[in-house]
Amino acid sequence: MYNSVHMRRSLLNILIVFAIGVAIGFSGFRYLSSKKSISTDEAKELLSQFMAQQGYEGVTVKEVSDEGGSNYKVLVDAQGREFVSYITKDGKQFFQMAVELDEVMGNESGATPDAPFTEVSVKSERPNIELFVMSHCPFGTQVEKGLLPVLDLLGDSVAFNLKFVNYAMHGEKEINEQLTQYCIQRDYPGQLLPYLGCFLADETMSSACVAELGIDEWGLNNCVQQSDTEYKITESFGDNSTWKGTYPPFSIYEEDNTKYGVSGSPTLVINEQLVESGRDSASLLSVVCSAFENRPVECDTELSSEAPSAGFGFNTGGPTSDASCGD
């Protein structure tokens, strides 16, 4: 029994370290590839060099294949277990594998290995929802748009915290916007969801949204300046030596990012448990409601099952899952 559990934990540790490391490490390794397109053999060699450089013991690249599209499929072997990852054909981005924890940990629930995780196992009277995004990541904004009707429906029966990934991929506008949203949530929490509803419709309307909602601009700007100084956001943006690979840090929620192993936007955590969900409101309501000890009647409400569009604007027809910034 001990050996079996120990082996599973060792494998899980390897996979977690690998998954977190890929997001940061591979961006600094891209200089090895300067071609517009590389072959499958070159991709395999590139990834093998990357694994060796990063010290991923027990993880090897078994096969790289071309199945069409803009990415190569990568078969990764981790101590005898195989997982699928992807690398872009220009060799510049490596997408970490999706680790099926049920399979690794020997779950006997009977769920199929490919089924998405859609139920929260940790129940509470008032579920705590933490959503990690980048403010201008199109897939982060997509989940936010899908989640807003859920939060509006459930109200105070849930606790919601909007948090940010610890690096920013979308330039100075992103760090400025995230400081704004952080301060609205901190000092004007009742205005956060109305603000998001306004901002997500049109990213150019941030100042107009603040004015429309009657948020005290002086107080908001004061919080932004203090928080910027405290967490060295602008200072770090101007100092490339502090960057995480090719992107500036955004360190306000550094501790929580580390705690949950957040590597990209969006990342959804409910009751301190990483969860996966479709991005439509109906799917998100189902996931959130699975976290209640006693489901409220609002959980029986029918919400839209159409995924919001990625990016800004309240249209539909976006990707249903998986697409992310940074993963």
Examine the domain organization and report whether 71 and 188 are in the same domain: no
The pLDDT score that the predictor gives to residue 46 is 80
| 314 part of a folded domain | no
Q: Is residue 87 classed exposed, middle or buried when 0-12, 13-18 and 19+ CB atoms within 10 A define those classes?
A: buried
Structure tokens at 85: 């990852």
- Interhelix angle 192-199/138-154, rounded to 10 degrees, is 140
Which of 43-47, 73-77, 79-83, 248-252 is the least confident region?
Answer: 79-83
Residue 40 pLDDT greater than 90, yes or no? no
- What are the residues whose beta carbons fall under 8 Å from the beta carbon of 320, sequence distance 6 or more? 278, 279, 280, 307
The pLDDT score that the predictor gives to residue 111 is 32
Mean pLDDT value of segment 55-83 = 71
Examine the domain organization and report whether 204 and 293 are in the same domain: yes
| 321 part of a folded domain | no
Examine the domain organization and report whether 134 and 66 are in the same domain: no
Residue 113 pLDDT greater than 50, yes or no? no
Residue range of the domain that includes 66: 2-105
| 323 part of a folded domain | no
Examine the domain organization and report whether 133 and 100 are in the same domain: no
3-state secondary structure of 257: helix
* Reported confidence tier of residue 139, pLDDT bands at 50, 70, 90: very high
Residue 38 pLDDT greater than 90, yes or no? no
Residue 182 pLDDT greater than 60, yes or no? yes
**Which has the higher per-residue pLDDT, 48 or 184?**
184
In 119-237, where does DSSP find H-type helix? 138-154, 172-187, 192-199, 206-212, 217-231, 233-237
**Which has the higher per-residue pLDDT, 138 or 33?**
138
**Which has the higher per-residue pLDDT, 133 or 113?**
133
What rounded mean pLDDT belongs to the chain?
81
Amino acid identity, position 50: F
| 327 part of a folded domain | no
Structure tokens at 288: 């959130």
* Reported confidence tier of residue 201, pLDDT bands at 50, 70, 90: very high
**Which has the higher per-residue pLDDT, 213 or 84?**
213
Examine the domain organization and report whether 88 and 133 are in the same domain: no
Residue 4 pLDDT greater than 60, yes or no? no
Mean pLDDT value of segment 113-129 = 76
Examine the domain organization and report whether 134 and 281 are in the same domain: yes
* Reported confidence tier of residue 61, pLDDT bands at 50, 70, 90: confident
Examine the domain organization and report whether 141 and 70 are in the same domain: no
Question: C-alpha 69: how far from its chain's center?
Answer: 24
Q: What pLDDT, in 10s, does the model give residues 281-312? A: 999 999 999 999 999 999 999 999 999 999 99
| 149 part of a folded domain | yes
* Reported confidence tier of residue 36, pLDDT bands at 50, 70, 90: low
The pLDDT score that the predictor gives to residue 23 is 44
Query: What's the domain count of the chain?
Result: 2
Residues in the chain: 327
* Reported confidence tier of residue 118, pLDDT bands at 50, 70, 90: low
Mean pLDDT value of segment 7-32 = 46
Examine the domain organization and report whether 179 and 81 are in the same domain: no
- Sheet architecture: strand order including 59-66: 59-66, 71-78, 81-88, 94-95
| 164 part of a folded domain | yes
The pLDDT score that the predictor gives to residue 56 is 58
Examine the domain organization and report whether 40 and 158 are in the same domain: no
Examine the domain organization and report whether 161 and 256 are in the same domain: yes
**Which has the higher per-residue pLDDT, 11 or 245?**
245
Examine the domain organization and report whether 155 and 285 are in the same domain: yes
| CATH number, domain with residue 259 | 3.40.30.10
CA dihedral 116, 118, 121, 123 (to 10 degrees): 160
| 122 part of a folded domain | no
Residue 318 pLDDT greater than 80, yes or no? no
The pLDDT score that the predictor gives to residue 71 is 72
Beta bridge partners, 206, equal: none
| 191 part of a folded domain | yes
Examine the domain organization and report whether 61 and 193 are in the same domain: no
